[in-house]
Amino acid sequence: MSACCNHGPAQFDGQSPGFRRALWLVIAINAVMFVVEIVAGAIAGSQALMADALDFLADSVTYGISLAVIGHSLRIRSTAALAKGISLFVMGAWVLGSTLWQVFGAGVPHAGIMGSVGAAALAANLLSVVILMRWRDGDANVRSVWLCSRNDAIGNCAVMLAALGVFGTGTGWPDLIVAGIMAGLFVWSAQQIVRQALEERRAPAPPAHQHAH
């Protein structure tokens, strides 16, 4: 598998039973954590938790798209990756905008809920990262799955830091700052996914034998 991913022009395109099983498992993990975090974020009044919950939802949807286009042509796979990159950018812009809006009327989030739920989400995402680790260097469609999982783990660490900041300062500013950073991470990753997808769309189609794994 590693030879397919890391050598030569033909990148791993997801055509592996192991990768499909891994995707289904990670989709389930993300769907469960979306429900947990969206409820906890509303109860705690945490913009960072709400942003992370939306990331879980987006990942569940985009991983489903990744699963659906496995085995299709490079153009279809890169188009799916392009759509995911654009949606990630839109989500980042929305989180950034809503965070700026909260600056003018934010209360103090519940640090205890933020910390405990953030820890649970971090454990879930680290498990996802471990599950997907061996497939992190594939085409844009495969790589976008890895980037989203990595972003989630970083985001959960940030939520826990925000909880400590809220607890230590007694204000909501750490929560808003972390939400803004997460929005920036979404936008940066979206740019990476879109750039690779556009490069793959412009590339000539490889010979048929390179699709075999």
Per-residue model confidence (pLDDT) at position 134 = 77
Per-residue model confidence (pLDDT) at position 173 = 78
pLDDT single digits (tens) 89-146: 887 787 777 667 666 655 677 778 888 888 898 899 889 888 877 776 666 667 777 7
Per-residue model confidence (pLDDT) at position 204 = 66
Q: How many CB atoms lie within 10 A of CB 119?
A: 15
Domains and CATH numbers, the chain: 13-202 (1.20.1510)
Length of the chain: 213
Q: How far is Cα 209 from Cα 16, in angstroms, rounded to an integer?
A: 16
Helix (H/G/I), strand (E/B), else coil: 127: helix
Provide the H-helix boundaries in 7-46: 17-44
Each residue's pLDDT expressed in tens, for the chain with a length of 213 residues: 333 333 334 466 556 777 888 889 989 999 999 999 889 888 887 877 887 887 788 788 778 877 877 777 777 877 877 887 887 788 778 777 766 766 665 567 777 888 888 889 889 988 988 887 777 666 666 777 777 777 777 777 878 888 888 888 877 778 778 778 777 877 887 888 788 788 877 776 555 444 444
- Percent of all residues in the chain with a pLDDT value above 70, rounded to a whole number: 80
Per-residue model confidence (pLDDT) at position 35 = 92
CB 90, CB 202: distance < 8 Å: no
Per-residue model confidence (pLDDT) at position 6 = 34
Per-residue model confidence (pLDDT) at position 12 = 64
b/e map 57-87, b = 16+ CB within 10 Å:
bbbbebbebbbebbeeebeebbbbbbbbbeb
Q: How far is Cα 96 from Cα 182, in angstroms, rounded to an integer?
A: 8
Q: Cα torsion for 73, 78, 84, 88, to the nearest 10°?
A: 170
Per-residue model confidence (pLDDT) at position 1 = 30
CA diameter of the chain: 61
**Which letter does DSSP use for residue 108 in this model?**
-
Per-residue model confidence (pLDDT) at position 106 = 56
Per-residue model confidence (pLDDT) at position 8 = 38
User: Angle CA(115)–CA(40)–CA(94) in degrees, nearest 5?
Assistant: 100
Which amino acid would we find at residue 166?
Answer: V
* CB-based contacts of 36, cutoff 8 Å, min separation 6: 53, 117, 120, 121
What pTM did the predictor assign?
0.64
